[in-house]
Each structure stands twice: as structure tokens, then as C-alpha cells.
Structure 1
Amino acid sequence: MNLPPLVSGRLIKRYKRFLADVTLDSGEIITAHCANPGSMLGLKTPGSRVWLSVSDNPKRKLKYSWELVEVGGVLVGVSTAHPNALVEEAILEGTISELSGYATLRREVTYGKNSRIDILLEDDARPKAYVEVKNVNLVREAGLAEFPDAVTLRGAKHLAELGDMVEQGHRAVMVYLVQYPGCERFSLSRDIDPAYGAAFDQARARGVEALAYVCDITQDAIRPARAIEIAE
């Protein structure tokens, strides 16, 4: 995924989950949209260098959107608006080989108990594949990406519904997309959300697959790069 031209500044604070005040390099102080409902643990330190996209849509309340933050010399993607498109792109390009070879790909398809699956892969020659994508940018130990960074009842619900799809004869896959370059392993943050950990274990026992892919990130683009080990 190519990023639009970005402007940089310094983070003043992130608040009310979806807002961030930033001092641009020009000296102007602005409020940006923060498309990340999680805790953003380790990513919201005041003074951090951040990069923002700029919208010219007159209907938008906030002109700027927070895209990247520099942590320890590494550019980290903070937006949860991108992972579904990034995974779609990676599937179509063959980067995620485990999900290649299907005839069609659809996004946001209704299924289960009034839910929407992020990606549905279909092919007459094989069962459907229900793909749920989760954004990952929590790193508390060098090289180890973790999910979630806050309690997620919705995430546990998705795991249960994926298990239901397996029992109906379909394929179900969790894709954890790590927007934190340099990570070599992925694990669940069971101390943050034990219930999600239990739901993950139950889903895996029912046949739900799990993949973790780490991204390469520059100021110009975000690209899913390679699979990393899942330490369950």
C-alpha cells in the first residue's frame, strides 16, 4: 500500500481514543484523527515524531489523520483502517501464500450472528475461507509482537464465530498483521486479556488457523513482508 504524501510533527497527546494533538514542523498545532481504538501502549509518548496524511475532503471534520509514529528509530503503523486492505493486497500478490489460489475475494461479507467477515475467499474447487484480520502494534519485548493491547470482547466473539464456520465445513483463518517492523515472533498478550487468550485456544482446538505477518514500513508505503512465528 502506497501512502499519500505525509507531513511530520511531534505528538502532544492522544486522547478520547480517536483524537491526537500534534505540533507540526511548521509550528502549527492541529488535532488529527487517530484511527486506532486500542490502548496504543508504547506508541503515544508525548514528543514522539509522528507522520500524518492530509485530506482535502471539505466534509471531513478533521483534515489530518495519524499514520505513523517513530519508536526507537522504527516507523510503526498506527492506523487500524489499513490492515484489511493490506492483507487483501498481499493475498492478491501472493505474499500470503497460505491464502493464495482462490478464484474470488470479497470484503466485509455478512456471516454468523450479525457479523461481517473481513475477507471471504471463494473457489468452486475448495471450501470457502473466512479470513479475520487483526492489527498488531504492541511490542513490550524486542522482536515480540503481541495482541491485543486492550480487552476486546468483539475479538473473542469473532474467534467463536470462526470456529462455527469450521464446524460448517469451511476454512477459517485469523491473520495478525504486525505494523511494527523488526518483529520475529507473535504471541497473545494473555495478561492484558485472559478471555481473548481462552477464546483463541478454543478456536484453535476447533480448527481455526492462525497466521502472523510483519510489515515493512517507510514514509512512502506499508507492505506485508513475511510470516513470523506464532508462540501460542
Structure 2
Amino acid sequence: MRFDPPLVTARLLRRYKRFLADVVLDRPGEAPAAEREVTVHCPNPGAMLGLDTPGARVWLSPARNPARKLRWTWELTEPADGLGRGLVGINTSHPNRLAAEAVAAGTIPELAGYAGLRREVKYGRNSRIDLLLEDPRRPACYVEVKNVHLLRRRDAAGEGLAEFPDCVTARGAKHLEELGDMVEAGHRAVMLYVVQRSDCAAFAVAGDIDPAYAEALRRARARGVEALCVACRITPEEIVVARPLPLQL
């Protein structure tokens, strides 16, 4: 997934009301900092632990619609928490597209070989599955995609651990139950975690943040739901699914 038009850089002042942030655009020499301060859209409803530190360098995409109230959308951040290494994607609307591109390219072997891929297909109890993989030779595969950006610790070797969720998600637990229902109906179901950062070596569930979600995943796996995790390569030019991450469940 390429950023077109190119992203611009800024410094984060504050994030508030979940979906808003104030930044100072990096346009040295053009105007005083006070005149370069703007409010931008933050496309992330989570806690964003370690990613919304004031002073952090961030990357923004310009709105395609000139009439949109907020001209900029926050896309990437350079963590200022001392743990992060490299860029982190914070836009939770991207993982579905990233997963679809990776499946189409054969980057995720476990999801390869299907004849068709559809997105946002209605299923379950008033839900939509992120990806539905179909092939006349095998059962349909229901793939739920979750964005991951939380990193709270590194091991003695300096390897980072990606975790999900970063806040309580009753909706996420509901999706896991519905995936289990699909397995029992004779289909295949996969929980796919897309880590929008490249500085992690493994994935785990943040059970201390949301014990109910951790239990829902345990139950779903017992019912036959598969769990996969992939990490991305991130630059200011593009985000691409790059490699699998082992799960520590």
C-alpha cells in the first residue's frame, strides 16, 4: 500500500477525544510555529499506548476532498517512549487493505490458493467479515483482521513483543464468537493480526488489558478458529506485509 500523494511530517502536540490531534507542520522558514499548528484526524479509537507522546514526529496524509473539515489524517508515528524502533502505522482502516494485498500476492501461505476474495461481506449477527476467501474446491474461509500497534516490553535480547488489544474490545470478543460459529457451520475461520510495525519478534494477547478478549480467543481456538500474525515493513512511502510473527498464546 503506497501513500499517494506523499506524506508530510509534523510534531505532535496532543491527542484528545480519541479522533483528534493537534500538530505543528514541519515547514521551516514558511511561517512561525503558531501559524503551522493544525488539528488533524486521528483514525484510531484505541489507547495508542506509547504512540501519542507529545513531541513525537508524525506523518500525515492530505485529504483528497478539499471540502473536508480536517485537511490532514495522521498515518505514522515515530515512538518517543524509548521502546519503539522505526515507524508505526496508527491508521486502523489500513490492515484490511494490507491483508487483502498480501493474500492476493501470496505473502501469507496459510491463506493462499483461493479462487476469489471479497471484502466486507455480511455474516453472523449483524456483522461483516473483513475478508471472505472462496474456492469451489474447499470450504469458504472467513478472515477477521485486527490492527496491532502495541509494544510494551522487550526481552533480554532486545526483541519486542507485539500485543492486542490496547484497550477493552467487546466487539473483538463478539467477532471471535462468530468465527467459531462459522467453523461449526463447516467453514474455515481465521483471526489475522496485522502488526503495523517492524520492531517485534512475536505476538501475544494483552490479557491484563482485556481478560475477556483473551478468554474469547481461547474459546475460539478450542472451537477450531485459527490464529495468524504478520508484521509489516513501514516507510514514509508505503506499508507492506513483510513476514509472519510467531504467536505466544
Higher strand share: 1
Task: Report the equivalent of 1:57.
Answer: 65
Residue 131 (structure 1) aligned with residue 143 (structure 2): yes
Query: 1:73, CA displacement in angstroms?
Result: 4.3
Match for residue 218 of structure 2 among 201, 207, 220: 201
Match for residue 115 of structure 1 among 104, 114, 127: 127
Residue 24 (structure 1) aligned with residue 16 (structure 2): no
SS at match of 1:214: strand
Counterpart residue identity of residue 181, structure 1: S
User: Where does structure 1 differ by over 3 angstroms across 4 or more consecutive aligned residues?
Assistant: none
The answer (yes or no) to whether the contact 2:85–2:199 under 8 Å persists in 1 is no
Query: 1:90, CA displacement in angstroms?
Result: 0.2
User: Alignment RMSD, CA only?
Assistant: 0.8
Counterpart residue identity of residue 61, structure 2: S
SS at match of 1:32: strand
Match for residue 191 of structure 2 among 147, 171, 174: 174
SS at match of 2:87: strand
Residue 148 (structure 1) aligned with residue 149 (structure 2): no
Which segments of 5 or more consecutive residues in structure 2 lack a partner in the other structure? 28-32, 155-159
SS at match of 1:220: coil
Match for residue 43 of structure 1 among 37, 40, 51: 51
Aligned residues with identical type, % of pairs: 62
Residue 85 (structure 1) aligned with residue 97 (structure 2): yes
Match for residue 114 of structure 2 among 102, 105, 113: 102
Task: Report the equivalent of 2:231.
Answer: 214
Residue 7 (structure 1) aligned with residue 8 (structure 2): yes
Query: 1:180, CA displacement in angstroms?
Result: 1.4
- Distance, in Å, in 2 between the alignment partners of 1:56 and 1:193 is 36
Normalising by structure 2, report the TM-score.
0.92
